[in-house]
């Protein structure tokens, strides 16, 4: 029997995403984190929020174009949601400013690191500023709305300058070097000024015949969606390149402005840029805090940063001279960023030079700008291997780089395939075919994370190398789908979206529900990035009502309503935000004492289940199962960096200073893997 689920039983995803970003902001405020790491969390919060307005707020604007009757029938309330978004963002921005001004700046000063505004320069520093401005930034472009229609570039900083005669001008702020070291006469003291302050100090040189009344920093965010034409007759990559040019002229989604400017100044800004009141968002004196990711610790005090965690060797692969032999003998499990990403690249390098390797197939979602893996793929093509590379050309904000690499592979002779219409390929898999005793044998790699050496240093992911024929043969079917050789794969072992993933997860949950009703132990444990799909949430409510213990670990947004009597009594959810970005997906089902575990690329999002190519594999190897389960349990038991996702969304830390013993999962996992060497 089903249960009656009302619309109110699903949380609005965009509001809930803001609560995830609040957890990032908490890390900037958490004094247990070193100073320069808290600065980075401010930068991450800022970057996240910029993307949110470019993507999600833009999406709400598109919904507003749907007629009111249809919106009501579909329970779409974009105006109400947008109002709530702006209210929560404003509160977070106030908290952000307080953290920066009341915590970060004083703590920097206590460590002899000083940020000076234009009113604080010494005579020596003024001489330096004058020379720097004359040499580096004296050719600033001034936009005069009175004589032309100003175009503000997406995400670029400008000064909005109001004269005493109510004329408005815009000056683009050069930010290639945002933080400028200043000369000083004291040893072991470090003085900086922001390029913004240098421009402020010298701005009168640009307006010699005008009197400036106000100056304030602004930044415009624009719609980042690519609106592709289904009837476009050219190649997809070509169409995406054309569409990318439109991002810079997309619809405004937010104008962030210095809250200290006057009401008259704001009104003139709004009319000049043709944006509504709802598009204006007050901020602090400085914007683009994402630039603080590049601000390095100038001191020798290592306590201002996280303690170093060098990438660990893998206990087996690090000693292997023949990866094919090692993987053939036993599946191998790797964990990033704890262990080196080199093992992925090295297997591909070995495949490129191995005369017995005939075919290489790989799906690439976000490609690093420079990559040992990509170099190995190019070498494989040059060596005469049959190399097929599927490239997701619509991976947001990585489109241009992905297409560039696609052209490089294609020029060398690889078979390059771009996106499938109306569906993204999000799986992280490759397959190598090798002749052994005149029989073609497959070697596969299945991961929760991208083939990207850069993100592997900060994303927590898991990857499995296997030569198990039951897995590799079905991975080959995935590539047959990508190569348009097969429409629907017939697979018995792995989960492939959008074909059987939802069905199999439903079956597994139903099995737990039945076990609970039969009086057996029943439990679902799932770690994912985000939970959004209404049908999956409904199944979890159904499981909870049947008495199934549901334990969720969700880094991002979660649209399931927790701690609600009669709905989610048996569902407990935590979220970890720490020095690394939790990115792995692990799903476990008690199954009457014979637990079933799946690992792969799919979240419980509608897009991952129904509109993307995703791959998850069952964990059959006993050693790999034990290792993954131990790591998952450490994360579930985290009482330092885990928050409870409760009914009030307070993001309260699971533990407190009195928690004993303290368990910080990312550190415990590192030590666990280190001790296995």
Known binding-site residue numbers: 48, 366, 396, 459, 555, 583
DSSP string spanning 470-513?
HHHHHHHHHHHHHTTS-SS---SSSEEETTTHHHHHHHHHHHHH
Closest among 597, 594, 664, 587 to 624, alpha carbons compared: 597
Instruction: Count Cα neighbours of 373 within 13 Å in the Cβ-side half-sphere.
Output: 24
Angle at 453 between CA 449 and CA 456, to 5 degrees: 45
Annotated binding site for ATP: 48, 459, 555, 583
Q: Which residues pair with 423 in a beta bridge?
A: 420
Annotated binding site for Mg(2+): 366, 396
Task: Copy the structure tokens of residue 259.
Answer: 């809250």
Residue 333 near residue 324 (C-beta atoms within 8 A):
no
Residue 35 CA to residue 103 CA, distance in Å, equals 9
Q: How many H-runs (helices) and E-runs (strands) does the chain carry?
A: 20, 27
Helix (H, G, I), strand (E, B) or coil at 643: strand
Burial 663-672 (b: 16+ CB within 10 A, else e): bbbbbbbbeb
Q: Which residues pair with 362 in a beta bridge?
A: 389, 430
Closest among 219, 241, 211 to 228, alpha carbons compared: 241
Closest among 436, 308, 452 to 370, alpha carbons compared: 452
**Beta-carbon neighbour count of residue 165 at 10 Å?**
8
Q: Which residue do the tokens 């009104």 mark? A: 267
**Beta-carbon neighbour count of residue 128 at 10 Å?**
18
Q: Identify whether 426 is a catalytic site residue.
A: yes
The active-site residue, picked from 287, 426, 462, 570, is 426
Closest among 470, 432, 444, 428 to 584, alpha carbons compared: 428
Residue 276 near residue 253 (C-beta atoms within 8 A):
no
Residue 320 CA to residue 577 CA, distance in Å, equals 35
Catalytic residues: 426
């Amino acid at each position: 029997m089903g249960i009656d689920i009302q619309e109110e039983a699903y949380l609005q995803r965009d509001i809930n995403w803001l609560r995830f970003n609040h957890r990032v902001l908490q890390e900037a405020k958490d004094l247990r984190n070193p100073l320069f790491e808290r600065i980075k969390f401010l930068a991450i919060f800022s970057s996240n929020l910029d993307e949110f307005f470019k993507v999600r707020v833009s999406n709400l604007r598109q919904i507003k174009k749907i007629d009111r009757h249809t919106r009501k029938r579909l329970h779409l309330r974009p105006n109400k949601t947008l109002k709530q978004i702006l209210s929560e963002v404003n509160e977070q921005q106030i908290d952000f400013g307080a953290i920066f001004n009341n915590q970060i700046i004083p703590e920097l000063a206590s460590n002899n690191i000083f940020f000076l505004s234009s009113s604080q320069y010494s005579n020596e520093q003024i001489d330096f500023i004058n020379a720097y401005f004359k040499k580096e930034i004296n050719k600033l472009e001034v936009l005069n709305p009175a004589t032309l229609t100003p175009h503000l570039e997406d995400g670029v900083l400008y000064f909005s300058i109001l004269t005493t005669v109510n004329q408005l001008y815009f000056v683009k702020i050069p930010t290639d070097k945002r933080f400028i070291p200043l000369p000083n006469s004291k040893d072991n003291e470090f003085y900086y000024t922001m390029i913004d302050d240098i421009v402020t100090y010298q701005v009168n040189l640009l307006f010699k015949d005008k009197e400036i009344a106000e100056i304030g920093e602004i930044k415009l965010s624009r719609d980042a969606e690519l609106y592709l034409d289904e009837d476009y007759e050219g190649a997809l990559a070509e169409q995406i390149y054309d569409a990318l040019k439109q991002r810079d002229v997309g619809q405004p989604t937010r104008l962030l402005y210095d809250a200290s400017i006057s009401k008259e100044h704001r009104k003139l800004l709004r009319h000049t840029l043709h944006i509504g009141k709802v598009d204006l968002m007050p901020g602090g004196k400085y914007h683009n805090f994402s630039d603080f990711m590049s601000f390095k610790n100038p001191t020798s005090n290592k306590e201002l940063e996280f303690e170093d965690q060098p990438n660990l060797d893998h206990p087996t692969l690090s000693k292997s001279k023949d990866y094919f032999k090692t993987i053939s003998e036993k599946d191998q499990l790797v964990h990033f960023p704890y262990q080196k990403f080199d093992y992925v690249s090295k297997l591909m390098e070995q495949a490129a030079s191995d005369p017995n390797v005939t075919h290489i197939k790989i799906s690439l979602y976000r490609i690093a700008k420079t990559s040992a893996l990509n170099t190995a793929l190019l070498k494989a093509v040059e060596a005469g291997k049959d190399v097929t590379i599927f490239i997701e050309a619509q991976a947001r904000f990585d489109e241009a780089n992905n297409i560039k690499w696609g052209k490089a592979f294609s020029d060398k002779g690889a078979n390059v395939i771009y996106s499938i219409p109306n569906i993204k390929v999000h799986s992280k898999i490759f397959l190598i075919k090798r002749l052994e005793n005149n029989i073609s044998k497959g070697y596969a790699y299945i991961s929760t994370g991208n083939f990207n050496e850069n993100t592997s240093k900060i994303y927590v992911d898991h990857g499995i190398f296997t030569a198990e024929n039951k897995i590799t043969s079905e991975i080959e079917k995935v590539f047959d789908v990508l190569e348009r050789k097969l429409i629907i794969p017939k697979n018995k072992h792995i989960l492939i979206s959008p074909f059987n993933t939802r069905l199999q997860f439903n079956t597994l949950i139903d099995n737990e529900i039945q076990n609970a009703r039969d009086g057996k132990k029943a439990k679902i444990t799932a770690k994912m990035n985000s939970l959004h799909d209404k049908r999956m949430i409904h199944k979890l409510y159904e499981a909870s009502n049947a008495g199934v213990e549901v334990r969720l670990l969700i880094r991002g947004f979660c649209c399931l309503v927790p701690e609600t009597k009669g709905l989610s009594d048996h569902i407990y959810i935590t979220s970890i935000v720490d020095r690394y970005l939790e990115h792995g997906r692990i799903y476990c089902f008690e199954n009457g004492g014979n637990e079933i575990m799946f690992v792969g690329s799919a979240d419980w999002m509608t897009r991952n289940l129904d509109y993307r190519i995703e791959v998850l594999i069952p964990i059959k190897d006993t050693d790999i199962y034990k290792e993954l389960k131990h790591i998952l349990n450490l994360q579930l038991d985290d009482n330092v960096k885990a928050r409870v996702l409760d009914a009030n969304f307070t993001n309260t830390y699971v533990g407190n200073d009195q928690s004993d013993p303290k368990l910080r999962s990312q550190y415990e996992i590192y030590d666990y893997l280190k001790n296995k060497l």
